[in-house]
Structure 1
Amino acid sequence: MSETEILAVVVEWEFPFPPEKIWRALTQPHLIAEWLMTNDFQAQVGHDFRLSADWGSVDCRVRTVEPHRALSYSWDTKDLVSVVSWTLTPTSAGTVLRMEQSGFRQDQQPYYRGAQVAWPRFLANLEQVLARMG
């Protein structure tokens, strides 16, 4: 692996829910706050928003919005500039949700390892939120 190679964290999770339901949880601020962080998200390309937690915040900008199919946004912290992309693929049993966070440099192993641990937890939280939703 070269010094300039960019790393990505990918998590795929199959949910027993339709893409439309998952899309709501990915794009409605009060639902995002339940499984990820407090935010001022809007599903509008170019919208700047902030995700906030007790440890700090992440500055983001919406890059892609394809309702019920795909969403992406920049994910910028003090030292990390990356992109989070969501892809929703309908299946006979529900939806496969693919999350990819790309842009980790080789010298950003702590961020990379942290994301490898955090994203599966966030998706487990998302599953609980989806189960509670009407």
Structure 2
Amino acid sequence: MNAIAPELRTVVVEREFAHPPEKLWRALTQPHLIEAWLMKNDFLPVAGHNFNFKADWGTVDCRVTEVEPIKTLAYTWSAMGLESVVTWTLEASGKGTHLRMEQSGFRADQEQAYQGAKFGWQKFFGALEQLVEKEAA
């Protein structure tokens, strides 16, 4: 008897930034900048590094799984029963940088987490955009 794996869902957010990839990379990898747009953290851009995001609602346990400077960053995201992976992809574009965030691993019974991520990442992207604008000024 073959067990069929449950279907996992993914949240994807993509946005064009009028800034070079290096500037966005700093915002994605420097702890004080990450805190300004996402959450408090003890992040290091080193594959295998375990770290946490901390918010008033709790803690997210993470581990860096991939680092390709100024191109790709991926880490696990474990919180409240959700075991997922967040992958950031930066691509230079005519206007600056095309940034893509993909959070994969939402099970069908995790509708609240899935909807929360869809809403939350839009908010975080807005905060990231404001941070990068401020840093550019």
TM-score scaled by length of structure 2: 0.95
Among the aligned pairs, what percent are the same residue?
55
Q: Secondary structure at the match of 1:106?
A: coil
| Alignment equivalent of 2:27, drawn from 10, 17, 25 | 25
Which residues of 2 match residues 49-64 of structure 1 at below 5 A?
49-64=51-66
| Alignment equivalent of 1:96, drawn from 98, 103, 108 | 98
Q: Which amino acid aligns with 1:17?
A: H
Is the 1:47–1:62 contact (alpha carbons within 8 Å) kept by the matching residues of 2? yes
Give the deviation of 1:3 after TM superposition: 7.6
Q: Which amino acid aligns with 1:14?
A: E
**Structure whose CA Rg is larger:** 2
Give 2:130's aligned residue.
Answer: 128
Say what the alpha-carbon RMSD is for the aligned residues. Answer: 1.1
| Alignment equivalent of 1:82, drawn from 81, 84, 102 | 84
Unaligned runs of 5+ in 2: none
Give the deviation of 1:66 after TM superposition: 0.4
CA distance in 2, matches of 1:3, 1:24: 37
CA distance in 2, matches of 1:67, 1:130: 18
Give the deviation of 1:56 after TM superposition: 0.5
Q: Secondary structure at the match of 2:15?
A: strand
Give the deviation of 1:78 after TM superposition: 2.6
Unaligned runs of 5+ in 1: none
TM-score scaled by length of structure 1: 0.97
CA distance in 2, matches of 1:90, 1:8: 24
Instruction: State the 4+ residue runs in structure 1 displaced beyond 6 angstroms.
Output: none
